[in-house]
Amino acid sequence: MSQERGSSNRQPDLHPFQGLFQALDATAQANVARAAAVLQNSEDTNWLATLAEAQHNLTYAESDESGGFHNFSYLMALLDNANSNALSIPILDVTMQGTDLVISWTGGGTLQSADSINGPWNDVPNATNPLVIPPLAQAPQQFYRLRQ
């Protein structure tokens, strides 16, 4: 029995597709889980509907047993939509990096600040995302929110 030259019984290399799928899947999982945690006690039907769509698309994409190889473009579009929906939900984060205060957010909106939780609230001028506030510029007490 002779084998034709150049023929092979090798399976196609699935790794590049699976690697891209797995990377976006991990990112979408993290962002959808974060949005779900933030919206846990929310009654905002618009944001809850956005989250539900993100969760549905994430679950559907992950149900593909090929790990993203079959219908690759469609599954990546589902993951991208899930990730985009999760990131569209406004979430405000405040962290410390050394002595700097770092404020970052997802979704749209205008960053506002106030000296009191009751306001008055003012737009933060020239706010970039993330906003880094060095120690000398930090007020003794300051509150932040996103205005939609």
Residue 101 bridge partners (DSSP): 96, 133
Question: Dihedral angle at the C-alpha atoms of 75, 80, 15, 70, nearest 10 degrees?
Answer: 10
- Measured between alpha carbons, how far is 33 from 87 in angstroms, rounded to an integer? 11
pTM, full prediction: 0.75
Say yes or no: 81 and 100 in one domain: no
Cα three-residue angle 23-26-30, rounded to 5 degrees: 145
Q: In a 10 Å sphere around its CB, with 0-12 CB exposed, 13-18 middle and 19+ buried, how is residue 78 labelled?
A: buried
> Domain of 142?
91-147
pLDDT value for 2 = 47
- Measured between alpha carbons, how far is 124 from 92 in angstroms, rounded to an integer? 14
pLDDT digits (tens, 9 = 90+) for 93-148: 999 999 998 999 998 889 999 999 999 999 999 999 999 988 876 667 889 999 88
Say yes or no: 121 and 138 in one domain: yes
pLDDT digits (tens, 9 = 90+) for 45-84: 999 999 999 999 999 999 987 766 678 889 999 999 999 9
Number of domains in the chain: 2
Say yes or no: 83 and 105 in one domain: no
**Which backbone phi and psi does 27 adopt, to 5 degrees?**
-65, -45
Domain-ending residue, one of 88, 114, 134: 88
pLDDT value for 37 = 95
Say yes or no: 72 and 52 in one domain: yes
Say yes or no: 23 and 74 in one domain: yes
pLDDT digits (tens, 9 = 90+) for 3-36: 445 555 555 555 677 888 899 999 999 999 999 9
